[in-house]
Structure 1
Amino acid sequence: MVKHLLLPYLVPSPRLFHLHSLRAFRPISSTIKMTAGVEHYTFGPYKIHKSEVFYTTLLSYAMVNLRPLLPGHILFFWASIIREVKRFVDLTADETSDLWLTAQKVGRELEDYHKASSLTFAIQDGPQAGQTVPHVHIHIVPRRSGDFENNDEIYDAMDEKEKELKQKLDLDKERKDKTLEEMSREAEEYRKLF
């Protein structure tokens, strides 16, 4: 069961949430289960099995990574269940706030869980910035000293990873795909953090 965040703020946009019968500035006092009955999520043209998702809010979700760069490397997405958003610049203020505040919370827990000392948050917004999957997402990577010879090499590695995904993950033989079972177990471990 995916755990859901109790949003600690008021919902300011009734237009965005009309499907949920929420009113402007109405406090959310109970868990909202948008994902009940959902078999998969979408990431651009890709289907993500619900067992790979370990955390959701009203507007975003976190999933384990098929080919992580480092232990704990996850992807954090804008929830396309509400509307399709390809670019970060197209998010509303409320959507941006939910995405980044929740990424901060998830990152904090993953850093602690993986006994890391830092975090890399990375977003590529548009094709010239390296975005190859047209869906707003953030890479969250727990970091340790020496995990890359040159600290900023992680950005080259992420760019390569994005290109691989677009090419159906045919490249980069050093990193192996995890099975759905492995990804489900990892997601279950992360669910316990929340």
Structure 2
Amino acid sequence: MLKVLALLRSSNAFISSSRRCYISHPSKRCCFISTIKMSTEAYQFGPYTIDAKEVFCSTNLSFAMVNLRPVVPGHVLIVPKREVKRVVDLTAEETCDLWLMAQRVGKQLEIYHKASSLTFTIQDGPEAGQTVAHVHIHILPRKSGDFERNDEIYDAIDVKEKELQQKLDLDKERKDRSFEEMTQEADEYRSLFI
């Protein structure tokens, strides 16, 4: 917990003993109070219900979950709690909370996976490759040589998204990670934020 407190304090955030996170942003337009909570509630990701065991961090407005079909180790999703199809439809508070969580989660996962960089990506709309009509940020810890060409990661994300969409639409043979694998990974990541 002390490690997380130090990390959050260094990024203009402070968590009190009640896990209330006071986050401020230099623009003053993104000042709000968000509570980091570990809950047993179910979460919605578009039309899909996500078990709380797959979620490793959440605030009042956003949550972080493990990925059903990760492209690299540590590939996770940051999702607003309110179902919003496009980035433009997020409120300023939701946008700020989503990106602050992405920043926090990315930093911890980069350290945890001994990565040297992060890829943050959003597919905003169907023509951009979005298969679940609910805004989400992909975070991928990156290491030297994980792809022959750096931008191949976007093709890999696109392939995984299309495979997932086919599975969901056509109920094809499951090639996903098991629920147990996903909850074990979420447990490991959850310990980074407690």
Q: Same fold (TM over 0.5)?
A: yes
Distance verdict in 2 for CA 1:165–1:148, change over 3 Å:
same
Separation in 1 of the partners of 2:89 and 2:184?
A: 34
1:67-119, Cα deviation, whole Å (9 max, x unpaired): 11010001110113xxx211111111111011001100100000000000000
SS at match of 2:119: strand
- Distance of aligned partners of 1:8 and 1:117 in 2 relative to their CA distance in 1, 3 Å threshold: same
Is the CA contact (8 Å cut-off) linking 1:5 and 1:57 kept in structure 2?
Answer: no
> Pick from 63, 66, 83: which aligns with 2:65?
63
1:32 shift after superposition: 6.4
Q: Quote the offset at 1:36 in angstroms.
A: 4.9
- Which has the larger share of helix? 2
Q: Name 1:148's counterpart in structure 2.
A: 147
Query: TM-score by structure 2 length?
Result: 0.78
1:114 aligns with 2:113: yes
Partner of 1:8: 22
- The one-letter code matched in structure 2 to 1:190 is Y
Return the letter of the residue paired with 2:165.
Answer: K
Counterpart-to-counterpart distance in 1, 2:40 and 2:56: 15
| 4+ residue segments displaced more than 3 Å | 30-33
Alpha-carbon distance between aligned partners in 2 of 1:31 and 1:142, rounded to the nearest angstrom: 25
AA matched with 2:43: Y
**What do residues 141-163 of structure 1 show as CA deviations (whole Å, max 9, x unaligned)?**
00000001111000011111222
Whether the 8 Å CA contact 2:36–2:58 is kept in 1: the answer is no
Paired residue type of 1:41 = Y
Instruction: List per-residue Cα deviations over 1:132-190 (Å, max 9, x = no partner).
Output: 1100000000000000111100001111122222212679x9x9421111111110110
Query: CA separation in 2, counterparts of 1:9 and 1:147?
Result: 34
Distance 2:165 2:48 in 1: 10
How many residue pairs match? The answer is 169
CA contact (8 A) 1:74 1:139 kept: yes
User: CA separation in 1, counterparts of 2:129 and 2:182?
Assistant: 25
Partner Cα distance (2:19, 2:124) in 1: 26
5+ long unaligned stretches in structure 2? 1-17, 25-30
SS in 1 for 2:56: strand
8 Å contact 2:119–2:142 — kept in the other structure? yes
**Residue in structure 2 matched with residue 158 of structure 1 by the alignment:** 157
Cα distance, 1:47 vs structure 2: 1.7
Q: Deviation per CA, 1:10-63, whole angstroms, max 9, x where unpaired?
A: 7xxxxxxxxxxxxxx8x74x9465x7552x211112221110000001110001
Structure 1 residue ranges without an equivalent (≥5): 11-24
> Would the aligned equivalents of 1:41 and 1:49 in 2 still touch at CA under 8 Å?
yes
Task: Tell me the distance in 2 between the aligned counterparts of 1:113 and 1:71.
Answer: 10
Instruction: Name the amino acid aligned to 1:71.
Output: P
Q: Name the residue aligned to 1:13.
A: none
Specify the code of the residue in structure 2 equivalent to 1:115.
Answer: K
> What is the DSSP-based 3-state SS (H/G/I as helix, E as strand, rest coil) of the residue aligned with 1:58?
coil
Instruction: Please state whether the residue corresponding to 1:167 is helix, strand or coil.
Output: helix
Residues 134/31 of structure 1: CA separation in 2 closer, same or farther (3 Å cut): closer
